[in-house]
A and B are shown apart, each in its own frame.
Chain A
């Protein structure tokens, strides 16, 4: 297993957001975590990245314990994240945002190549390359956030709510690109989504989270056909 999470707990003061989640991500797969607001999806991702402190449990990447490792070292190991709400550097241009994504890399040529790759993937970004990140539209910022995370050349890409707050027509494009990243670059993806239907349509494996615990997990296709899940998350009767 590339990523192994064992009994993870995250608490904000007295509020326990994650109450013992165990989860595995196999190399080369797209794995999704779905669930309602407050289910603990984002907290789990942030704990993996080292942005949020854990209060219990273990996180292992390639067999190595990264539970208490600082965020910048985790990036160096090959995990990068496009965080929820995009978190674009508003005063840096789109190009500088991308350059920050490659902050830990020293291979100038490789970075140039990857820049060209993300511009081919998101041609809209190329038009806005010298604009400050804060001036981009929501959809463009989301593309920028994903592109920035890709520039770290991660082996595991964490995506937090990539469909949040962007035009429905763009949601489809972004999900197509996520599949493309997985197929073409071989990047393993852990995707957090509220848009369960979309997430399940592209994922190999899925975890359903409810109030900080894993309620159900299985192949994405099985989860998508589960009666209860269809009622609760896919809006079917």
Chain B
């Protein structure tokens, strides 16, 4: 029974997504859009968490993978003239998303290969460069709309699609890293040489992390394209990659729940700060600095330790006068 628990959670999450999707028109379009963006950002941050957080390979090219998935799936659905509402469109849409993911993971492999020789900041700069190369190439391809962007994409992604993928991504990554096999990612991150010395094939782990992470980023890109219905290369620039990295760092490298929360909070935050108009990015940046100074290991550290959270809560309520220690 215990072995199937995570599968049951996945099933419940899919059913919940389907039910909520039925009522999605009841939510105001503005809030609905934010909810969708949260889902897409959770997919992006969780998949980057596998590369950066678990395998410890600092990658700054995630927006590039997202772009590949977005353009690939958009080209497929547009050339097939899929449209929302027709039953046949949805299985084909799923196929298009997967194609986008596969193209992204092929590039994930290409980006992963330098990680076998480069570490830390060198790898970060290389992945940043490769991400930009993807963007610039798309920008120069006329049939993709070049800098004008790719228009007229069918609005096929809705709440169900986005959150079904969210559930699948979390399920996949959680199962991957909790398994004995998955502990190899943590070993590679902690000490690559020691990992090799106990028999872990570090090369394979890094490649698997890049391929899997890029695959899901590609799917996130496909969902994004089929939600906003218009994409252009500037949406997938370096800043996009950087935003995703921030979500992973703030959530805590290698902390699945923390990264999900951070993705949600950091998507809502700039919106919530719209009230203060021109100062909002200043406040956003300031909050990030405060978080990094006070919690350099991320808001929740590497593991969300519920017993510690509980002790913190009980200590506060039993001796309210003492305050925080």
Binding site for A on B (CB under 8 A): 180, 183-184, 186-187, 189-191, 193-202, 254, 302
Contact = CB atoms under 8 A, between A and B. Distances in A.
Interface stretch (A54-62, A74-82, A120-128, A181-189): A74-82
Contacts, number: 73
Given A75-B197, A76-B199, A88-B191, 7 more contacts: A72-B196, A80-B197, A83-B193, A88-B194, A89-B191, A90-B190, A103-B184
A83 B254 CA distance: 26
Closest 7 CB pairs of A and B: A75-B199, A87-B194, A71-B196, A89-B190, A104-B199, A72-B201, A72-B199
B197 A49 contact: yes
Contact of B187 (A49, A50, A70, A100): A100
Contacts of B201: 70, 72
B198 A50 contact: no
B118 to A, nearest CB: 17
A51 B186 contact: no
22 contacts: A49-B197, A51-B196, A51-B197, A71-B196, A75-B198, A83-B197, A87-B193, A88-B191, A88-B194, A89-B186, A91-B254, A92-B183, A92-B187, A99-B183, A100-B184, A100-B187, A100-B195, A103-B198, A103-B200, A104-B199, A148-B198, A152-B198
A80 B302 CA distance: 29
A86 B190 CA distance: 12
A189 B189 CA distance: 29
Interface of A: 49-51, 70-72, 75-76, 80-81, 83, 87-92, 96, 99-101, 103-104, 148-149, 152
B194 A80 contact: no
B48 to A, nearest CB: 19
A80 B186 CA distance: 20
Contacts of B254: 91
Nearest to A92: B186
Contacts of B202: 72
B30 to A, nearest CB: 41
B250 to A, nearest CB: 18
Contact residues of B: prevailing secondary structure: helix
Contacts of B187: 89, 92, 100, 103
Contacts of B186: 89, 91-92, 96
Nearest to B303: A91
B125 to A, nearest CB: 23
A55 B184 CA distance: 29
Interface centre among A72, A81, A87, A101, by most chain B C-beta atoms within 10 angstroms, is A72
B183 A96 contact: yes
A89 B198 CA distance: 11
A148 B195 CA distance: 11
Contacts of A99: 180, 183
Contacts of A50: 196
A148 B201 CA distance: 17
Contacts of B199: 71-72, 75-76, 80, 103-104, 152
B252 to A, nearest CB: 11
Contacts of A49: 196-197
A75 B197 CA distance: 7
A80 B195 CA distance: 11
B302 A101 contact: no
A50 B198 CA distance: 11
Given A88-B194, A91-B190, A72 B200 contact: yes
A99 B179 CA distance: 11
Contact of A81 (B183, B195, B197, B200): B197
B193 A51 contact: yes
Contacts of A104: 199
Given A92-B183, A99-B183, A80 B198 contact: yes
A88 B201 CA distance: 17
Nearest to A81: B197
A135 B135 CA distance: 44
B200 A89 contact: no
A72 B187 CA distance: 13
A89 B196 CA distance: 12
A133 B131 CA distance: 36
A116 B191 CA distance: 25
